[in-house]
Amino acid sequence: MSASLAGIRPRHKIVFETMGTMATLTIASNVDADQASHAAHACEASLAGDDHRFSHYDERSEIMRWMNGAPIGEAARKDIHFVRDQCVLLEIASEGVFSTIDPATGRLDTAGYAKGHAIGKAVQAVRYTGVHDFNINVGGDTFCSGRPDSKRTWSIGVADPSRKRRVVAVLEVCDGAVATSGAAERGSHIWNRRPSSSLLSFTVTGPDIATADAYATIGFAMGESGIDWVGQHEGYSSLAIRGDGVVVSDALGLLAG
Amino acid sequence: MGTLARRLAPAAALGGLAIAIVGLLDPALAASRLPARDEMTAMAPTDNAAQQGGATTATCDTAETVTGPIVTTRWGPVQVAATIAGNTLCEAHAVVWPTGERQSRQISTYAVPELDAQATRQGVILDGVSGATYTTEGYRESLQQLVDSL
């Protein structure tokens, strides 16, 4: 224990503010400080760029300018179109549970997908710097790449929505996303929550962070039946916390598999 | 969390994703302490790695053992015990698991040994926390902030 714990420290940890929340980049200890610093800059710049691109809170953001008919760059336009199209596909797949239109304004709202999309791009940005063992967490949605050290996989706690600083489960992840949607959600627009849903939170694991994030939003809105809905998609699994505190998950299948 | 229920997934291709629930914890139920098991006692004297690493957090040698509630699943009762120091899950293992039915045995064969194997795997550290999106302000009170402060 002593040797193994002492051996994996220090890891590189960079905490910064982005998209109205906090982001943490954790890089494995086998990466040297210069490379970690390079990766951190790439990660932060990527997220800052997408904050400027997709923010609905900033009238000068590229998506707001695009919606207002103002000219934007070609790369930005293609990226916004991609996100819009993914939102539409998710709306169809979820039979309208996931909505791309903000009912308050009647305008396009990509917030349910754009944040995960931005995290996915930040993952690529870090990998381009040659770093492959890292974890990015943006406001509670996280992507794990590789391993923190040769002996471990990434351990991601699922927050207990009823008690601060508690977890209800710990997930072991090598390469994949863990995204959670909950009643205390900020910036996630769960318009069409079914009355039957009384969940406190809904966590999805899977290979793609943007998809996992959107599925968490959909699952939370669907209620307990969201577990079956998410499970229809290959590679995705979920864990829900019901209003009565019961934890329901299909993740045991992953254990058994 | 009062109770726990889990359901089996249809056999899903996992690709590069490997996920296992290593422990279901309910530290709020710390009142129901377990007497330390032999192996916990045995590992305790060497569990001060965090101190050696210069960290000021609680270490596994001062960890408390807490037990989750006995929860009824469709395969039978499951109960997990864990030792926790700060945000470090030092150990988690099943103390009660389903027996009897065929389905239960199947679960026991795979899932519970997986949980139980964690008893010998020391020093499970939380690398991060997934939860409903918080604001910058909310981060200050989050478990993620605690993890980051280590």
Range with the lowest mean pLDDT among A97-101, A234-238, B95-99?
Answer: B95-99
- Check if B100 contacts A (Cβ < 8 Å): no
Mean pLDDT across A61-88: 95
Any chain A CB within 8 A of the CB of B138?
yes
pLDDT band, very low/low/confident/very high, at B78 (cuts 50, 70, 90): low
Q: Does B135 touch chain A (CB under 8 A)?
A: yes
Q: In this complex, is the C-beta atom of B78 within 8 Å of any C-beta atom belonging to chain A?
A: no
What confidence category does residue A229 fall into, taking pLDDT thresholds of 50, 70 and 90? very high
pLDDT at B1 over 50: no
Q: What is the separation of C-alpha A63 from the centre of its chain, rounded to a whole number of angstroms? A: 20
Whether A135 contacts A25, CB under 8 Å? yes
B59-94 as b/e, with b when 16 or more CB fall inside 10 Å?
A: bbbebebbbbbebebebbebbbbbbbbbbbbbbbbb
B122 touches chain A (CB under 8 A): yes
Choice between A124 and A225, residue whose per-residue pLDDT is larger? A124
Are A26 and B146 an interchain contact pair (Cβ–Cβ within 8 Å)?
no
Positive or negative torsion for Cα A94, A98, A101, A104: positive
Predicted pLDDT of residue B25: 42
Note the pLDDT of residue A42. 97
**Chain-chain contact of A241 with B49 (C-beta, under 8 angstroms):** no
Does residue A133 carry a pLDDT above 50?
yes
B4 interaction partners in chain A (CB closer than 8 Å) = 246-247
**Statement: residue A151 has pLDDT above 60:** yes
What pLDDT does residue B22 have? 41
Q: Kindly list the structural domains of chain A, giving each domain's residue range(s) and its CATH number in brackets, ordered by start.
A: 3-255 (3.10.520.10)
Which residue has better confidence, A246 or A191? A246
| Mean of per-residue pLDDT scores for chain A | 84
Mutant choice from B129, B146, B147, B148 vs A, greatest count of A C-beta within 10 A: B129
ipTM of the complex as predicted: 0.78
A196 exposed, middle or buried (CB, 10 Å; 0-12, 13-18, 19+)? Answer: exposed
A148 prior amide bond cis, ω within 30: no
Q: pLDDT at position A89, please? A: 93
**CB of A101 closer than 8 Å to CB of A123:** no
Residue A245 confidence (pLDDT): 74
**Average of per-residue pLDDT across A64-77:** 95
pLDDT band at B57 (very low <50, low <70, confident <90, very high): very low
Q: Which of B7, B47, B130 to mutate to test the interface with A (most CBs of A within 10 A)?
A: B130
Using a CB-CB distance cutoff of 8 angstroms, which residues of chain B are in contact with residue A22? 134, 136, 139, 144-145
The packing angle between helices A33-54 and A111-128, to 10°, is 150
A185 pLDDT above the threshold of 60: no
Tens-place pLDDT, residues A230-249: 989 988 888 888 887 777 87
A61-65, A228-232, B105-109, B142-146: lowest mean pLDDT where?
Answer: B105-109
A104: its two tokens: 């308050």
Å between A71 CA and nearest CA of chain B = 31
CB contact (8 A) between residue A186 and residue B111? no
DSSP states of chain A as a string?
Answer: -HHHHHHT-PPEEEEEEETTEEEEEEE-TTS-HHHHHHHHHHHHHHHHHHHHHH-SS-TTSHHHHHHTT----HHHHHHHHHHHHHHHHHHHHTTTSS-SEETTTTEE--HHHHHHHHHHHHHHHHHHTT--SEEEEETTEEEEES-SBTTB-EEEEEE-TTSTT-EEEEEEESSEEEEEEETT-SS---TT--TT--EEEEEEEES-HHHHHHHHHHHHHH-TTHHHHHHTSTT-EEEEEETTS-EEESBHHHHH-
Q: If you average pLDDT over each of A160-169, A177-186, B57-66, B102-111, which comes out highest?
A: A177-186
Q: Using one digit for the tens of pLDDT, what is the confidence trace for B29-45?
A: 332 333 233 222 222 22
User: Over 90: is that where the pLDDT of A113 sits?
Assistant: yes
Task: For chain A, say whether B129 makes contact (Cβ under 8 Å).
Answer: yes
Rounded to the nearest angstrom, the minimum Cα separation between A140 and chain B is 4
